[in-house]
Every structure is written in C-alpha cells, then in structure tokens.
Amino acid sequence: MIAVADIVKDPNWYLHGINLDEASLLFVKTDQRALSACSFLDHRFDIQGLPSVSIPLANLLGLSESIDSAVPTFVFHSAFCCSTLIARCLDLESENLSLKEPAVLMALANYQRIGHPVLANPAQAQAIYTLVTKLLFRKFGIAQTVLVKPTNTVNNIILPLMATHPQSKALLLHSDLESFLISILKKGEQGRGFARQLFTILLMDSPEARQLDSTRLLRMTDSQIAAITWHLQLEKFFDVFKKHDSSQVRSLHCDRLLENPRSSIASLVDFFDFTSLRENFERLMDQAPLQSNAKTPDQKFDAGNRSQEYAKARSEYSDTLEVIIPWAKQLSFKYNYADKIANPL
C-alpha cells in the first residue's frame, strides 16, 4: 500500500475531491498530459478505471508544509468570457500546466456557501484551504509553473484561496453585461435555464440580494434575472479589489484578449511572472488554440466567428437589450452597477 507521504509528493496523484462530512480528500492516479488535455476537471473528468485513494484530512494536514508547490496563480472569471481559451493558451508542456475547473474547488466553494461546520473555525478553515491549494499546485518539474482556472461559482472563495500564499496572483477575466446577455439569449431555453440556476447559487453568496422580495423575483423576466446574475458575479471581484492591489490582482475584458491575443497573453505572462513561458513565448503562441473552440478543440472558431455571431444576436435581440441594460444600470446590492472593472491588465 502506498504511503500517504508518497502520494502527497507525487503530482500524478491528482487531488480530485473533498468530502468534509467524512473529513477526507480523494486522489486519483493520472498524468500531466491527461490533466492538460481535459477541458473540465469536474464531474466530466472521467476517473473510471483510474487508481484512487481516499485519505483522512487528519493524515494530511500535518504534511502541508512539506509539499513542494508552485506559487498559486489563478484565473477567476465570470461566465462566457473565454476563460478556457486563456487557460489553454498558457498551457505549455513542461513549462506551465493549466488546470481547468477542478472539482475539489467547486466542492469547497459549496461547503463554504452552506456554512459547513468544519469550516466554522477560521484557523481550521485556513489550514484546509492551504492544504488543498498546495496539493493542486504541485509541480511536475522543478521550474514548472501551474495555473488554476476554477469554475465561476468558486468566486465566493477567491479571498481565502488567495490568502494561502503571500505571493498569490490572480486574473479576473470578464465580459460586459451586453455580451453576457447575448450569450444567454442565443442559447435559448438552455441559456435561460443556466442563468436562473446560476442566480440561485450566487444568491446564497449575497445577503443583500437575498433581501429581494420573492413576489418581485417571480415577476422578473429571464433577462432581468440574467442581468442580476452578471452583476452578482462582478460584486465578488469588487470584494477582491478592496483587499488586493494591482501587484496581485488584475482584470481583463475578454474582448481585448480576442482582439489582440498576442499582446494580452504577453502581458499576462509578465504579470504572473511565468519566466519559462516568457523564454518560450514563440513556442507558446505557436500552440495557442486561437483558431478553435477552446472547450471542443476539434471545432474551428476564432475572434471573427465570435464577432459575427454576437453582431447577429445583438440585432436579433435588440429590443430586449435596449430595455434590460438601462434597467440593470440601476442595480445596487453590496455595490452599485459598474461598467468598468479596476486594475486592467
């Protein structure tokens, strides 16, 4: 039987899950190539047939200091803003590994959201966050860096994740309200359902939004709910800017990434201080999937395609946009509606 200390030292034993009811972590045996290739390391990551082991938290917390990990570097984001694309663009074999939407962070965010008793003690919660972060950021090579791009419902725990290391850095990637609404509207019923589902999750994170009268909510249209959802996502970013300055946290509108990917990626590499990527920048750009769909790389898709799609949808849904956007600009929960996001890259 493999020793716990050996599992902790070996990044091939990937941290996939956390169960706070049982106070344990789930590891699966995989490799760097599989982790890099996977668009979603959540429930869509096929772990069937992989060796796995569940280890009590109590057996791991004492080993946290011994874990050799990279400095935590994150891409947090709002929905529909090319976060998978930017993570793939920064993934370069042996130089940087991008982990996209790890299930363990989604679970931890949900435990925080419901106020799980294991996280009630601040010192204990911080120890768990530190352990999870160190395990995720284990390196496959001495000079390798690691980037983690959580799902957007993890934004409620940005601050405790950033607090696990004094040199942590994060990019807050976002779109504007109009683009978010268009993304929802052009997906039809599926998009409207997604927005309402996301709204119910983000509502749990906002004491101010929970004051909305239930009758008023029932009278709101799908587009109004979507607008509130977009605003609640950005409010989490505003919290981060109150705590961290531009040396640790920057923002980027996804349109800038699409309009000038080379410049945006170069700026991000410099901000994250990814020395190896800077030295291998041309190789990085040569393999960047800028002409394909980042989530489904076999599909051809680029900035021109996106621009054409959105222009068509903007015309098709102009009546809705002309009503909802002015309405949304009056929104104010913890923060007032804002078009501009601080600390642009």
- Any long-range contacts for 262-268 (C-beta under 8 Å, 24+ apart)? 264/345, 265/86, 265/89, 265/90, 267/345, 268/86, 268/90, 268/171, 268/345
If DSSP codes are grouped into helix, strand and coil, which group holds residue 196? helix
Q: Would the pLDDT of 311 be above 90? A: no
In 3-state terms the chain splits into helix, strand, coil percentages (rounded to 5) of 50, 15, 35
The H or E element containing residue 264 is helix 261-272
CA end-to-end distance (rounded Å), the chain:
48
Tens digit of each residue's pLDDT (9 = 90 or more) over 21-31: 999 999 999 99
Answer yes or no: are the C-beta atoms of 156 and 112 closer than 8 Å: yes
The pLDDT of residue 310: 80
For the chain, the residue count is 345
Answer yes or no: are the C-beta atoms of 190 and 226 closer than 8 Å: no
Sole residue written with tokens 């690691």: 146
Answer yes or no: are the C-beta atoms of 323 and 222 closer than 8 Å: no
Q: What percent of the chain has pLDDT over 90?
A: 88
The pLDDT of residue 297: 58
Distances (CA, A) of 110 to 77, 121, 204: 17, 17, 10
- Any long-range contacts for 165-169 (C-beta under 8 Å, 24+ apart)? 165/71, 165/72, 165/133, 167/71, 168/71, 168/72, 168/73, 168/74, 168/248, 169/71, 169/72, 169/73, 169/74, 169/248, 169/249, 169/271, 169/272, 169/273
Phi and psi at residue 169, to the nearest 5°: -135, 155
Tens digit of each residue's pLDDT (9 = 90 or more) over 51-93: 999 999 999 999 999 999 999 999 999 999 999 999 999 999 9
Answer yes or no: are the C-beta atoms of 89 and 36 closer than 8 Å: no
Tens digit of each residue's pLDDT (9 = 90 or more) over 256-310: 999 999 999 999 999 999 999 999 999 999 999 987 665 665 655 566 667 777 8
Q: What residues are paired with 97 via a beta bridge? A: 146
Determine the Cα–Cα distance for residues 26 and 43; give it in Å rounded to an integer.
13
Instruction: Give burial (CB, 10 Å; 0-12/13-18/19+) of 175.
Output: buried
The pLDDT of residue 309: 79
The full 3-state SS of 91-135, as one line of letters, equals: CECCCEEEEECCHHHHHHHHHHHHCCHHHCCHHHHHHHHHHHHHH
The pLDDT of residue 339: 83
Q: What residues are paired with 76 via a beta bridge? A: 172
The pLDDT of residue 138: 97
The pLDDT of residue 313: 79
Concatenating the DSSP letter of every residue in 281-342 gives HHHHHHH--TTB-SSSTTSB--HHHHHHHHHHHHHHTHHHHHHHHHHHTT-BSSSB--S--S
Q: Would the pLDDT of 185 be above 80? A: yes
The pLDDT of residue 315: 85
The pLDDT of residue 208: 95
What is the residue extent of each domain of the chain? 69-328
Tens digit of each residue's pLDDT (9 = 90 or more) over 204-260: 999 999 999 989 889 999 999 999 999 999 999 999 999 999 999 999 999 999 999
CATH number, span 69-328? 3.40.50.300
Mean pLDDT over 87-108 rounds to: 97
Determine the Cα–Cα distance for residues 171 and 101; give it in Å rounded to an integer.
15
Mean pLDDT over 115-131 rounds to: 97
The pLDDT of residue 98: 98
Determine the Cα–Cα distance for residues 70 and 134; give it in Å rounded to an integer.
8
Sole residue written with tokens 């900035």: 303
Confidence of residue 2 (pLDDT cuts 50, 70, 90): confident
Answer yes or no: are the C-beta atoms of 29 and 94 closer than 8 Å: no
Instruction: Round the average pLDDT of the chain to a whole number and report it.
Output: 93
* Sign of the dihedral through C-alpha 212, 213, 216, 222: positive
